[in-house]
Amino acid sequence: MKGDKTLAELAQQFDVHPNQIAQWRSQLLDGAAGVFGPDKGEAKTAPGVDLKALHAKIGQLTVERDFLAKRPGR
């Protein structure tokens, strides 16, 4: 980011294509405020996620897996 080395020098040093470095740089510049901004410590969750329903489904799948694992002939 400082501009000490050219894209070609960095690409050769890290064995990647110069276009990939340019893409990473632009992604960093576009998203740097989100990384270092005031919202960085907050957990991002999808809106409307029902944790009770998800835990119930996990429990159901665990019971089914355990039941099927105990079947004879398996």
Structure tokens at 54: 């998800």
Please, where are the H alpha helices in 1-74?
7-14, 18-36, 51-69
- Give per-residue pLDDT as tens, 31-72: 877 777 766 555 555 677 888 999 999 999 999 999 998 877
Q: Map out the domains of the chain as residue ranges.
A: 7-69
Looking at residue 41, what is its pLDDT?
52
pTM of the model: 0.45
Q: What three-state secondary structure class fits 43? A: coil
> Residue 43 to residues 19, 39, 46, 47, 55: CA-CA distances in angstroms?
32, 9, 10, 12, 19
Which residues are CB-neighbours of 11 under 8 A, at least 6 positions away? Answer: 17, 18, 20, 21
The pLDDT of 20-31, averaged and rounded, is 88
Looking at residue 73, what is its pLDDT?
67
